[in-house]
Structure 1
Amino acid sequence: MGKLDGRVVIVTGGARGQGEAEARLFAAEGARVVVGDVLDDQGEALADDLGERARYVHLDVGSEDDWRAAVAAARDAFGKVDGLVNNAGILRFNELVKTPLEEFEEVVRVNQTGAFLGIKAVAPHIGDAGGGTIVNTSSYTGLTGMAYVGAYSATKHAVVGLTRVAALELAPRGIRVNAICPGAVDTAMSNPARLDPAADAEAAARGLDALYRKLVPLGRAGTPEEVARLALFLTAEEDSAYITGQPFVIDGGWLAGVAPI
C-alpha cells in the first residue's frame, strides 16, 4: 500500500530534474500524477513511462489559461485534484545592478507568479475534493542571500511568504501548504553544462563537486530523489498531517554556517 494511494497530484516542471523525481516517486507511492511542463517531448516520454497513472499537460506556469487547462485535464483524466507541487523554476546568474529588467521579470513570472497562479487555480479544487496539500519549491536562497542570483533569491523569498499566507487562508478548507528549500542539487539547473552539447558537463560537475566539498558540511550536492522524498513527506497525510506554513531546508547543512576548512 502506497503513501499516496487515491491521491491526484499536479507536479509542475515535472519533465526533468526534481520534478521528474517527484513524479516518479509519487506514482510509485500510488498517486495519479499530472506532469506539467513546457518541455513537451520529455514530459510526454515521462508520462508514457509511468503508464496509466500519469498524464502530461503543456503548462506554462505564468499563464492563467494554461493553469485552467491543466486543472481541467487532471479532473477529466482522474476525477479530482487534491495535491499540487509547485516545482517549476528558472535560475539566471547575473550581478544585480547589471540584470536587465526583462531578465528579472522573466524569473519572477516563472518562480513567483507561477506559484501564485498554481495556488489560485488548484486550491479551490483541492478544497472541493475534501482537502489536500500544496508543496511550493523555494530555495536555500529563499532564506538567505547569495551573490549573483538576485532575481532568483528575491522570488524564492517571495515563495516562502506566499506559502505562509496560503497556509493561513486555506487551512479552513483542509489544505496544508508548505515549502521545500533545496540547497545545491545535482540537476541541469545547477549545472547548465548538462544542457549544452558543446560543453564538458563532466568537467563542470567535477568543479562543482569541489566547490560543494568546501561549502557544504555534508560535502556534496543533494540528489533530485532526496528532494522528492521531502516533497513526499509533506504530501503524505500520515506523515505530516500537523504541519503547515513551514519552510523545510534540505541543503546538506549549508545554511547552518561555514564548514570547517
Structure 2
Amino acid sequence: MTGSQRVALVTGAARGQGAAITKRLRADGFQVGACDVRMDELRTSIADLGDDVIAVELDVTSPEQWKTAVCEIVERFGTLTTLINNAGVLHRSSLADETAEGFESSWRFNCLGPFLGIQAALGHLLQASGAAIVNTVSTGAIRPFPNHAAYGSSKWALRGLTQSVAAELASDGIRVNAVFPGPIETPMLDPATQQRLTASLGRIGKPDEVANVVAFLVSDQASFMTGSEVIVDGGQCLRIG
C-alpha cells in the first residue's frame, strides 16, 4: 500500500450505474472490488479492466457476506479507502396491493444494505487518508411518485442515513455524500418506461453521467464536501406534472 493508493468497493457493479462507476474509478487510478450477486454478468463486465479490478460476490443484505467481501478486497489490495453503495432495487406497487414482504425487501436492499456496508468498511476507512463514501439515493427521495411507497420510503431512509453518517464521521475525516439519479438508461427501467420518460423529458440519462458525478465526489476536488446531495436527473425534479 502507498500513501496515494485508492481502493474502492462498488456494489451493484455487474450492470448499469455500478458497471459505469467501476470503469470510471479504474480509469481514475482506483483499484476496485466490484461486487454483485450476478457473478457471471459481473465477470463479463470487468473482463477488460485488468488485474486491478476483482469480482466479489456480495448480497448486500447479508452482514456475513459484507464482512467477507471487505476482507477479500483488503487482502488483495492492502487497504480500502472508498465505499460506493450503489446496489438497489426498484419495486412498484399500489398501496392496496403492497405486501409486508415486498415493502420490507425494498428497505433491506435500499437502506439496510448500505448501513451494513458502512459498518463493515468503517474500520478500514478510519485508517485511510481521504476516505469517502457515496450512497446512490434517488429522485424518489426528493419528490413523491405514485405506487412507490416501498421504494420511495426506503430511499428517503437512505437519504437520512447518509446525513446521519456524514455528521457522525466528519470529525474522523471521512466524507459521506449522496448522488440522486433520476431516470437512467439501465436494466432497472424496462423499455416501455424508458420510452415514456424519454417522451416526457426529451431524453433519459446515461450510466456514465452518474458515474462522472460519483467520481467527482470521491476525488480530491470534492475534499470540502460532506453531507452533500447531488441531483443527476435532467431537470426531472423541476417538473410539476
Alignment TM-score, normalising by the size of structure 2: 0.95
1:210 Cα deviation (Å)? 4.3
Which residue is 1:53 aligned to? 52
Unaligned runs of 5+ in 2: none
Which residue is 2:205 aligned to? 222
Unaligned runs of 5+ in 1: 192-200
Which residue is 1:197 aligned to? none
Which residue is 1:129 aligned to? 128
Amino acid aligned to 2:229: P
Contact 1:57 1:70 in 2 (8 A): yes
Residue 212, structure 1, aligned to residue 198, structure 2: yes
Cα deviation per residue 1:135-170 (whole Å; 9 max; x = unaligned)?
A: 001000011110011111011101110011101111
Residue 257, structure 1, aligned to residue 239, structure 2: yes
1:43 Cα deviation (Å)? 1.2
Contact 1:96 1:151 in 2 (8 A): no
Cα deviation per residue 1:80-121 (whole Å; 9 max; x = unaligned)?
A: 000010000001111023111111111111111001111111
State how far apart, in whole Å, the 2-side matches of 1:120 and 1:68 are: 9
Which residue is 1:40 aligned to? 39
Alignment TM-score, normalising by the size of structure 1: 0.88
Cα deviation per residue 1:175-194 (whole Å; 9 max; x = unaligned)?
A: 00001101100111012xxx
Percent pairwise identity: 39
State how far apart, in whole Å, the 1-side matches of 2:60 and 2:130 are: 22
Amino acid aligned to 1:243: M
Aligned length: 238
1:44 Cα deviation (Å)? 1.9
Contact 1:163 1:246 in 2 (8 A): no
1:232 Cα deviation (Å)? 0.4
Which residue is 2:159 aligned to? 160
Which residue is 1:79 aligned to? 78
1:209 Cα deviation (Å)? 3.0
1:123 Cα deviation (Å)? 2.1
1:130 Cα deviation (Å)? 3.0
